[in-house]
């Protein structure tokens, strides 16, 4: 059978009506196979920094253990522990040069390396790597309505320890949670996983820039988190149903755990129908992350001086408006100065910070009259100012 070429003018208006398309003529398999491009309801990825390329805080930190919960290396990926775990870890931004994830287009990964083992876990001990999402970014899931959508995560994982691992979603505002499993089948080998969570017709995420959803990758979990059957349907958060079956990735100093290529999709997908990972430009990826964290550590001018009576004001415009008024911190600023006039060795000497959310501007109020026109940060990298509005 011959097929005629259809040009740009070959189809008249309304030449193909809905009734002309047979039932099942277009299937998800054909879409995934490239006949029709797979589409998403969002122009940008829902997950942040899924390819692990942005690491504003640094590329490596050692000695993470009990009390180390926080953001340490890769942007938007939080180290979080509960209880009193005694294991210790090094967390790094790993550069990939081989393996299945590298072949799939990923040049970086999150890696944690166990440096102090903990073979026997305390009942309340847990460790997980998590990402947090704003309420207002989750509307496409229609959670809490009759049209609620499923959540599908795709990701590449590599671990020394084989066996069952747990992923958990927690709806913070409604105190609801659901867990699912994935299996590491082969030691120290990149494996691609697709995990789908059910839709939830109870509890709308709501609006605003507050915490809406947490995604957790468990590394280990004590008996308090494994004493009942895994909660695989949405329901009220229940500690003893959160991580049943989770292997202990902390039981040997030979153990490593690696993650990259994390994507979140609206709806249900399998390994064969999952849309391709959305690779952003590095600039776009960084720009999205800077909504939550920004570090100023170069010799660029940090602000412009304005004198008002006996007070001084310095205006600094950040790369973008942040999620909310940031917490401002610094290392030892040393000779942080305007020309030759020292402003002291810490931010406490700089007085009040005011944040203009619409314009992304920090106003630094100094309770003294400093002459000059600029304020700058010294050239050595140990002296930085950090702006943090993480969830």
What is the number of domains present in the chain? Answer: 2
DSSP three-state, residue 359: coil
DSSP-derived secondary structure for 185-226: -STT--EEEEEEE----S----SSSSEEEEEEEEEEE-GGGS
Q: Which of 264, 289, 314 is the last residue of a domain?
A: 289
Do 281 and 312 belong together in one domain?
no
Do 185 and 103 belong together in one domain?
yes
**Residues 185, 270, 289, CA angle at the centre, nearest 5°?**
85
Percentage of residues in the chain having pLDDT higher than 70: 71
Name the nearest CA neighbour of 169 among 145, 146, 203, 192.
Answer: 203
C-alpha dihedral sign at 242, 101, 68, 336: negative
Identify the CATH number of the domain in which residue 351 sits: 2.60.40
Q: Write down the pLDDT at residue 387.
A: 85
Q: Which of 260, 289, 318 is the last residue of a domain?
A: 289
Q: Which of 273, 289, 305 is the last residue of a domain?
A: 289
Helices (H) and strands (E) in the chain, counts: 3, 23
Q: pTM score, two decimals?
A: 0.84
pLDDT score of 95 more than 90: yes
Is 132 a member of any domain? yes
Identify the CATH number of the domain in which residue 186 sits: 2.60.120.260
Do 274 and 128 belong together in one domain?
yes
Do 105 and 66 belong together in one domain?
yes
6: Cα separation from own chain's centroid: 45
List the alpha helices (DSSP H) in the chain.
28-32, 100-103, 282-289
Is 18 a member of any domain? no
Do 284 and 305 belong together in one domain?
no
Is 137 a member of any domain? yes
Do 283 and 309 belong together in one domain?
no
Do 137 and 254 belong together in one domain?
yes
Do 270 and 315 belong together in one domain?
no
User: Higher model confidence: residue 263 or residue 345?
Assistant: 263
DSSP-derived secondary structure for 301-326: EEEEEEEETTEEEEEEE-SS--SSSP
Do 339 and 358 belong together in one domain?
yes
Query: By the 8 A CB rule, do 153 and 132 touch?
Result: no
Name the nearest CA neighbour of 215 among 277, 247, 258, 262.
Answer: 262
Cβ partners under 8 Å of residue 341, min gap 6? 370, 371, 372
Do 283 and 303 belong together in one domain?
no
pLDDT score of 41 more than 90: no
Do 284 and 310 belong together in one domain?
no
Is 19 a member of any domain? no
> In angstroms, rounded to a whole number, what is the distance separating the alpha carbons of residues 277 and 226?
33
pLDDT digits (tens, 9 = 90+) for 294-303: 987 654 445 5
Query: By the 8 A CB rule, do 233 and 180 touch?
Result: no
Q: For residue 113, give its domain range.
A: 60-289
pLDDT digits (tens, 9 = 90+) for 123-134: 999 999 999 999
> In angstroms, rounded to a whole number, what is the distance separating the alpha carbons of residues 302 and 379?
12
Do 274 and 321 belong together in one domain?
no
Query: By the 8 A CB rule, do 378 and 298 touch?
Result: no
**Count of alpha carbons within 13 angstroms of residue 119, beta-carbon side:** 3
């Amino acid at each position: 059978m011959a097929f005629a070429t259809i040009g740009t003018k070959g189809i008249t208006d309304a030449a193909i009506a809905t009734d002309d398309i047979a039932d099942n003529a277009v299937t998800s398999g054909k879409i995934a196979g490239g006949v029709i491009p797979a589409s998403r309801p969002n122009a940008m990825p829902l997950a942040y920094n899924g390819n692990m390329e942005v690491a504003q805080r640094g590329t490596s930190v050692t000695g993470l253990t009990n009390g180390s919960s926080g953001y340490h290396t890769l942007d938007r990926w939080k180290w979080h522990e509960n209880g009193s775990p005694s294991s210790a870890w090094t967390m790094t931004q790993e550069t990939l040069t081989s393996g299945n994830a590298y072949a799939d287009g990923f040049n970086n990964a999150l890696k944690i390396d166990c440096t102090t083992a903990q073979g026997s876990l305390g009942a309340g001990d847990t460790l997980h790597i998590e990402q947090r999402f704003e309420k207002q970014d989750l509307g496409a899931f229609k959670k809490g309505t009759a049209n609620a959508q499923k959540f599908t995560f795709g990701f590449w994982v590599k671990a020394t320890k084989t066996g069952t691992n747990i992923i958990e979603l927690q709806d913070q505002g409604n105190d609801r949670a659901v867990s699912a499993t994935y299996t590491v089948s082969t030691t120290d080998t990149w494996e691609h996983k697709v995990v789908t969570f059910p839709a939830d017709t109870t509890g709308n995420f709501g609006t605003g820039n507050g915490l809406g959803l947490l995604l957790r990758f468990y590394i280990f979990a004590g008996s308090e988190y494994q004493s009942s059957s895994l909660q695989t349907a949405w329901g009220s958060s229940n500690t003893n149903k959160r991580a049943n079956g989770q292997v202990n990735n902390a039981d040997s100093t030979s153990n490593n755990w690696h993650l990259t290529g994390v994507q979140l999709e609206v709806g249900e997908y399998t390994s064969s129908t999952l849309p391709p990972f959305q690779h952003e430009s590095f600039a776009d990826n960084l720009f999205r992350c800077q909504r939550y964290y920004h570090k100023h550590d170069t010799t660029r001018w940090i602000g412009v001086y304005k004198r008002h009576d006996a007070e001084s004001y310095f205006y600094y415009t950040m790369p973008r408006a942040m999620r909310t008024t940031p917490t401002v911190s610094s290392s030892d600023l040393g000779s942080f100065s305007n020309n030759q006039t020292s402003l002291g060795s810490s931010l406490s000497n700089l007085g009040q910070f005011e944040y203009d959310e619409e314009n992304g501007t920090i106003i630094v109020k100094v309770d003294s009259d400093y002459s000059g026109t600029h304020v700058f940060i010294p050239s050595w990298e140990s002296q930085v100012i950090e702006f943090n509005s993480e969830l």
